[in-house]
């Protein structure tokens, strides 16, 4: 079922959902099931599976030159989604990125997703490879999420890259895009980033999922700005509790976000990592309670393969 239909069927009651990473090379699907099982009692209507781009492995020669010798592979997002749908009978939402795909490969991936009965996709540009300084579009691929989105919209209207299909061959994806309450790190300011978010919705995005944030005022400001500018699609807050003191540095560095002083000081005052986890969970419980009151349609958790903190929060909030 489409995410927008899950939301409208819930009639204002917030839903719970979460995101997983596909397993690393050599692991089996069991690791994924172990990360899902503890959360199934809360009836998530959908589970997202991220797409992690391959990264090259280099060998350094005596003259200093680097040679690409292999690339790091993960089991595919599509295969992980198929396994989840098969075992749990919930909607799996694959993330689809621009990086690493030509337009033809993108189209073939979407044909496979349609064939598997996947109704939703989250379309993203993707980040730069670790080995590159900035995002480099794949030759004959898409450079921005809005281009990839347009491609999916075209397929939904029966317009494929090289041919126009009969009505029966139209895809029917409900399409999500990313939004950034604290702006995307490459954007010079919030307004420019917002302009491109609006462009994605005007192109046909059905819902927005936000980057994680720790201050609900930032989510509210984004929702208010969207509503004032004619963006009426659901805006799903992305949430992650702080679970270790190291994350005070790593989360702002990786995700380009602010951690409120009250939270950072509470974490710095902790005497053990166990206490840090408790503070992080308590903060997120409070954030979730407020988001429910604010009418957030779904509370969507970035579990990163660790379901336990999310489980404690959801137990307290739902
Ligand atoms: P875009 O919307 O294309 O925006 C990228 C930047 O370009 C922004 O600064 C934007 O303001 C600007 N911009 C947009 N359009 C234009 C234009 N036409 N001209 C000039 N500038 C423009 N990454 C992964 O690799 N895999 C994942 O599974 C994944 N899942 C994610 C899920 C969520 C909910 C979020 C919030 C992020 C996720 N990411 C993932 C990270 C994401 O790929 C990065 O943040 C990436 O750098 C930007 O992706 P985007 O889709 O927001 O890009």
Tell me, in angstroms, the distance from the centre of ligand 1 to residue 250's CA. Answer: 19
Going 289 to 294 to 296 to 297, the CA torsion angle's sign is positive
Residue spans per domain, the chain: 3-239+292-306
Q: What is the pLDDT of residue 279?
A: 98
**Which of 220, 180, 210, 234 is CA-nearest to residue 300?**
210
Q: What is the pLDDT of residue 65?
A: 85
Residue among 52, 181, 184 to mutate when testing ligand 1 (max atoms within 8 A of CB): 184
Q: On the CB side of 183, how many CA atoms lie within 13 Å of its CA?
A: 11
Which residue's C-alpha comes closest to atom 25 of ligand 1? Answer: 126
Exposed e or buried b per residue across 221-251, where buried means at least 16 C-beta atoms within 10 angstroms of its C-beta: ebbebbeeeebebbbbbbbbbbbebebbeeb
What is the interface pTM, i.e. ipTM, of the complex?
Answer: 0.99
Q: What is the pLDDT of residue 131?
A: 73
| Domain at 3-239+292-306: CATH code | 3.20.20.220
Instruction: Please state, in angstroms and rounded to a whole number, the distance separating the CA atoms of residues 146 and 288.
Output: 30
Q: What is the pLDDT of residue 73?
A: 67
Instruction: Please state, in angstroms and rounded to a whole number, the distance separating the CA atoms of residues 241 and 301.
Output: 9
Instruction: Please state, in angstroms and rounded to a whole number, the distance separating the CA atoms of residues 205 and 192.
Output: 18
Residue stretches of the chain with pLDDT short of 70:
55, 72-73, 166-168
Q: Specify whether the backbone of 11 is left (phi greater than 0), alpha (psi in -120 to 50) or beta.
A: left
Instruction: Please state, in angstroms and rounded to a whole number, the distance separating the CA atoms of residues 7 and 16.
Output: 11
Ligand 1 site residues (CB inside 6 A) read 50-51, 53, 95, 97, 124-127, 144-146, 178, 184, 186-187, 193, 196, 209, 211, 238
């Amino acid at each position: 079922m489409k995410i927008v239909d899950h939301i409208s069927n819930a009639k204002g009651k917030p839903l719970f959902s979460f995101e997983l990473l596909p397993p690393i090379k050599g692991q089996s699907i069991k690791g994924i099931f172990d990360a899902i099982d503890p959360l199934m009692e809360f009836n998530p209507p959908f589970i997202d599976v991220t797409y992690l781009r391959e990264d090259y492995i280099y060998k350094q020669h005596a003259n200093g030159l680097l040679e690409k010798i292999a690339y790091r592979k993960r089991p595919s997002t599509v295969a992980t989604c198929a396994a989840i749908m098969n075992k749990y009978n919930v909607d799996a939402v694959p993330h689809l990125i621009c990086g690493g795909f030509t337009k033809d490969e993108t189209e073939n991936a979407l044909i496979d997703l349609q064939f598997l009965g996947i109704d939703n996709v989250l379309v993203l540009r993707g980040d730069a490879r670790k080995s590159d300084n900035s995002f480099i579009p794949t030759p004959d691929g898409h450079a921005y999420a809005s281009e990839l989105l347009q491609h999916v919209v075209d397929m939904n209207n029966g317009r494929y890259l090289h041919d126009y299909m009969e009505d029966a061959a139209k895809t029917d994806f409900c399409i999500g895009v990313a939004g950034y309450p604290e702006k995307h790190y490459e954007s010079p300011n919030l307004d420019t980033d917002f302009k491109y978010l609006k462009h994605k919705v005007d192109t046909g995005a059905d819902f927005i999922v936000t980057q994680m944030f720790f201050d609900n005022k930032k989510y509210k400001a984004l929702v208010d700005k969207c509503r004032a500018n004619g963006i009426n699609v659901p805006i799903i807050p992305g949430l992650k509790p702080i679970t270790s003191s190291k994350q005070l540095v790593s989360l702002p560095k990786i995700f380009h976000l602010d951690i409120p002083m009250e939270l950072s000081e509470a974490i710095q005052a902790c005497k053990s990592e166990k206490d840090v986890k408790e503070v992080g969970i308590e903060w997120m419980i409070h954030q979730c309670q407020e988001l429910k009151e604010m009418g957030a349609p779904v509370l969507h958790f970035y579990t990163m393969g660790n379901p336990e903190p999310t489980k404690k929060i959801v137990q307290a909030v739902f």
